[in-house]
Amino acid sequence: MTASLNDIALRAGVSVKTASGALHGGSARMSDATRQRILEIAGELGYVTNFAARSMRQGWMPLIGVISDELITSRFATEIIRGLDGAARAAEMAVFAVTLGNRRDVGKTLGEIRQFRPRAIAYAAMYHKRVTLPPSAAEAIAVMINCQDDAGLIPSLVPDEEGAAIEVTRYLLENGRRAIAFINLPGLLAGALREEGFRRALVDAGMDGEAAPVLPAVRQTIYSDRAQSLVSAHVAALLDSSSPPDAILCGNDRVAMEVYAALRRAGRSIPEDVAVASFDNQVDIATRLDPPLTTMALPHRAMGRMAANILLSAEPPPVEVHRLPFQLVERSSV
Amino acid sequence: MTASLNDIALRAGVSVKTASGALHGGSARMSDATRQRILEIAGELGYVTNFAARSMRQGWMPLIGVISDELITSRFATEIIRGLDGAARAAEMAVFAVTLGNRRDVGKTLGEIRQFRPRAIAYAAMYHKRVTLPPSAAEAIAVMINCQDDAGLIPSLVPDEEGAAIEVTRYLLENGRRAIAFINLPGLLAGALREEGFRRALVDAGMDGEAAPVLPAVRQTIYSDRAQSLVSAHVAALLDSSSPPDAILCGNDRVAMEVYAALRRAGRSIPEDVAVASFDNQVDIATRLDPPLTTMALPHRAMGRMAANILLSAEPPPVEVHRLPFQLVERSSV
DNA sequence: GTCGCCTGGGTTAACGATTACCCATCTTGA
DNA sequence: TCAAGATGGGTAATCGTTAACCCAGGCGAC
């Protein structure tokens, strides 16, 4: 079907190894004339390297495998994959992503991906969470992205939720806000860590950390699109209370969107009456809200880049949990 | 490193071909005892098929290649890839997506992906558009997703923009709206086709198709996040005009989001004063707007599924353009 | 009884690229 | 003048899997 090195060698009147050297081995010894002729013939014949054949000798395909629990279908995937892809491309590797099927069987998915003999395999989660992997899987997975291995056997890259909450809370305080409410995402690791950071920042500022209201955005334990939103009710109650907030911190940009609507219905203006800040930096939403939303951007791309570095490094990296910082994106809602 | 068929055969005291037959050739002739023993040993040794080696004989890897102009980084990708992935998985294939680099060099990207010897290759676009491919590329690409080959050499799957515009306009008319404005996406094929459909539906209803206002959502020719939005100004002007609209059709859900804000500022209620409908069904936005947005969902998943069928079919399919229908998602904004 | 077919295997040659090793010829310095 | 490198290239084995053949025994039909 496609031309092989053999075809090229035949046509050029050289051996296969010379053809291989001309096309791939940059430093192979041969005259420029020979190399040029081989390159030309390769072009004519439309030669394309056969990675499968090469991989037989090398033992692996130039692939980085990514197992994602639901990642591909998430908008967060974009940034993680971009980060991975950029770094992998620099090393002449491709990223091969496989979504965990409905059966959530890591072992099976791992087997599927290993059939392609990737150089290394990462596990990526859509939401920041802890993951328990079967022991056999732990050996094959080199790094966890946006999640943390429960057994502590695998290097993990996670967003620094607590630090981000501290930073954004401090930012609100520096802007003169004193009564901050937090409409948080319940049932998520991220939410729990952010709540800690939120309260810590208040305490650090000499305020009563326990008194600050932290309310769940939805009724269900697991956050999903189906969950019944409590945002509207919470905002109304907060505004009616004896100590109405002058700032609302939101679990994500979608929550912020609902907060905007609720504040508007109550006749409050943003940010004059109530400042709003959030986590996510979902650009579609954050830039189009009126006023544009100040929000903490998740370090997805950084996680992807760092993961690629770990995956491509020759030495197995030390097993530790890297907490990557968010970035404050200032717009006009504070 | 990893166990091979040879290792298994050695341990089981059979030949490699028998081991191969037991593990892969479902109908290979051998006693159940032998097969069972081989399967057991394979399990112990953690055998994983080496697709690279297999592909050397078969000529291709069990992969469907997807070249996307920017697809992976788009929220639309999710549905197209899901559709593809589901169908491919049923055929024991994996989807291998490669994003066109910054250089937009289809030939080069095609070369990259062909190194992996995929069974078939698709080209997918983020926005519905026409694409001109280099002649050499046209031979290697089996189907175009969300775009149309300019040379007419490749089967294409595209959303039926015109039909969708007709349907949603008719829906507005059936709901008693008579003065419909369309804030369209300028400079896009989708926008042009939708405008045609919009006007056609009005004419079909006995109205003056030319008189209906169709306004660009942004100033730039190419729609991007950077483009300066004209939505707010357009809405204000429309409301101030001598014949204010009782419905606004939006180019996408983000435009609808801005229309909501503008209507709200002008003190109009949705849908009582002005109905709003849109294209996209970007769930994050559409379900969280207040009231939830009625919008035409793009047939991304259907395109993915259909593409997989074409890619996996033995016969090269007839070269034609398939226009797939949108789906009207009724919420409460009309 | 024996021919032919079924059963349960084995042998061996690919597939395409890489690579360790070998062999000429040509320079060059002492 | 000649030995030692440098230059330019060839040979053949190898990776893991498959598939085209081959083979020996058993068994039923004639």
Q: Which helix (H) or strand (E) holds A151?
A: none
CB contacts of A126 in chain B (<8 Å) are none
Cβ separation of A94 and B78 shorter than 8 Å?
no
Is A101 domain-assigned?
yes
Contact B117 A85 (CB under 8 A): no
Contact B143, B208 (CB under 8 A): no
Parent domain of B94: 60-159+300-324
- The residue with greater pLDDT, A72 or A320, is A320
How far apart, in whole angstroms, are the C-alpha atoms of residue A81 and residue A96? 10
Burial class (CB in 10 A: 0-12, 13-18, 19+), B42: buried
Is A264 in the B-facing interface, judged by CB distances under 8 Å?
yes
pLDDT of residue B32: 83
B57 is near strand C: CB distance < 7 Å: yes
**C-alpha to C-alpha distance for B22 and B11, rounded to whole angstroms:** 14
- B333 is a domain residue: no
Rounded to two decimals, the pTM is: 0.88
SS (H, E, C) chain B: CCCCHHHHHHHHCCCHHHHHHHHCCCCCCCCHHHHHHHHHHHHHHCCCCCHHHHHHHHCCCCEEEEEECCHHHCHHHHHHHHHHHHHHHHCCCEEEEEECCCCCCHHHHHHHHHCCCCCEEEEEEEEEEEECCCHHHHHHCCEEEEEEECCCCCCEEEECHHHHHHHHHHHHHHCCCCCEEEEECCCCHHHHHHHHHHHHHHHHCCCCCCCCCEEECECCCCCCCCCCECHHHHHHHHHHCCCCCCEEEECCHHHHHHHHHHHHHCCCCCCCCCEEEEEECCHHHHCCCCCCCEEEECCHHHHHHHHHHHHHCCCCCCCCEEEECCEEECCCCC
CB contact under 8 A, A225 and B283: yes
Contacts of A137 (CB under 8 A, 6+ apart): A106, A107, A110
Q: Are residues A226 and A255 located together in one domain of the fold? A: yes
Q: Are residues B198 and B77 in the same domain?
A: no
Confidence (pLDDT) at B131: 93
Q: Report the pLDDT value the prediction gives residue A171, as an integer from 0 to 100.
A: 98
The secondary element (H helix, E strand) that includes residue A191 is helix A189-204
Task: Please give the tally of structural domains in chain A.
Answer: 3
Which strand (E) or helix (H) includes residue A279? strand A275-280
Could you tell me if residue B120 is inside a domain? yes
Examine the domain organization and report whether A141 and A185 are in the same domain: no
User: Which tens digits make up the pLDDT trace of A178-231?
Assistant: 999 999 999 899 999 999 999 999 999 999 999 999 999 998 655 454 568 899
Query: How far is the CA of B14 from the CAs of B4, B25, B45, in angstroms?
Result: 14, 15, 16
Q: Which nucleotides of D are covered by protein (CB under 7 A)?
A: 7-12, 14-20
Query: B286 and B331 in contact (C-beta within 8 Å)?
Result: yes
B55: in domain: no
The pLDDT of residue A209 is 92
Which residue places its CA closest to the C1' of nucleotide D12?
A17
Indicate whether B88 and B15 sit together in one domain. no
Q: Give the list of residues 6+ apart from residue A313 with CB closer than 8 angstroms, or none.
A: none
User: Closest residue to D9 by CA to C1' distance?
Assistant: A18
Residues A184-195 have pLDDT tens digits of 999 899 999 999
Is the CB of residue A115 inside 7 Å of nucleic acid strand D? no
Q: List Cβ neighbours of B11 (8 Å cut-off, separation of 6 or more).
A: B41, B45
Q: Which residues contact B274 (CB under 8 A, 6 or more apart)?
A: B245, B246, B247, B248, B263, B268
Q: Is the peptide bond before B291 cis (omega within 30 degrees of 0)?
A: yes
Predicted local distance difference test score (pLDDT) of residue B28: 63
Check whether residue B242 and residue B307 sit in a common domain: no
The first and second tokens of residue B78, run together, are 């999710």
Using the Cβ of B24 and the Cβ atoms of chain A, whether some distance falls under 8 Å is answered with no
- Please indicate, yes or no, whether residues B287 and B217 belong to a single structural domain of this protein: yes
- In angstroms, the separation between the Cα of residue A333 and the nearest Cα of chain B is 15
Give B-chain residues touching A85 at CB under 8 angstroms: 72, 99
pLDDT at B34 (0 to 100)? 85
CB B82 to CB A73 under 8 A? yes
Instruction: Say what the pLDDT of residue A72 is.
Output: 63
Residue A54 lies in a domain: no
Would you say residue A331 lies in a domain? Answer: no
Could you tell me if residue A333 is inside a domain?
A: no
For residue A61, the chain B residues in CB contact (below 8 A) are: 52, 116
Instruction: Report pLDDT for A144.
Output: 97
**Which A residues 221-240 touch B at CB under 8 Å?**
225
pLDDT in tens, A46-93: 999 999 999 999 999 999 999 988 756 666 777 888 899 999 999 999
The secondary structure element, H or E, covering residue A107 is helix A106-114
Identify whether residues B139 and B39 lie together within a single domain.
no
Contact B116 A51 (CB under 8 A): yes
Give A283 CA → C11 C1' in Å.
Answer: 64
CB–CB of B225 and A283 under 8 A? yes
Same domain membership, residue A238 and residue A170: yes
Q: What's the mean per-residue pLDDT of chain A? A: 91
Nearest beta carbon to residue A288 from set B78, B85, B257? B257
User: Is the same domain home to B148 and B174?
Assistant: no
DSSP 8-class letter at A50: -
Cα B277 to Cα B291: distance, rounded to the nearest angstrom: 11
Chain A residue closest in CA terms to B80: A73
- Decide if B331 is inside a domain: no
The pLDDT assigned to A29 comes to 72
- Quick one: how far is CA B324 from the chain centroid? 11
| Per-residue model confidence as pLDDT tens digits over A253-268 | 999 999 999 999 899 9
Average pLDDT over residues A27-43: 84
Q: What is the CATH number of the domain that holds A279?
A: 3.40.50.2300
Question: How many Cβ atoms from other residues are within 10 Å of residue B141's Cβ?
Answer: 21
CB A108 within 8 A of CB A327: no
* Span A96-111, pLDDT tens digits: 999 887 778 999 999 9
Last residue of a domain, one of A49, A70, A85: A49
Co-location of A65 and A120 in the same domain: yes
Q: In what order do the strands lie in the sheet with B156-159?
A: B94-99, B63-68, B120-131, B143-149, B156-159, B321-324
Instruction: Tell me: do A203 and A253 sit in the same domain.
Output: yes
Compute the nearest-CA separation of A210 from chain B (Å).
Answer: 31
Say if residue A120 is in the same domain as residue A165.
no
Smallest Cβ distance to B99: which of A85, A99, A101?
A85
Residues 75-134 of B with CB under 8 A from A: 75, 77-78, 81-82, 85, 89, 94, 96-99, 101, 111-112, 114-117
Distance CA A280, CA B90 (A): 35
Question: Hey, which bits of A91-201 come out as E strands?
Answer: 94-99, 118-131, 143-149, 156-159, 180-184
* Residue in B closest to A113 by C-alpha: B94
DSSP A91: T
Name the stretches of chain B with pLDDT < 70.
1, 26-28, 71-75, 220-227
Q: What are phi and psi of A216, to 5 degrees?
A: -80, 140
- Nearest chain A Cα distance for residue B35, angstroms: 20
- Answer yes or no: is pLDDT of A333 > 90: yes
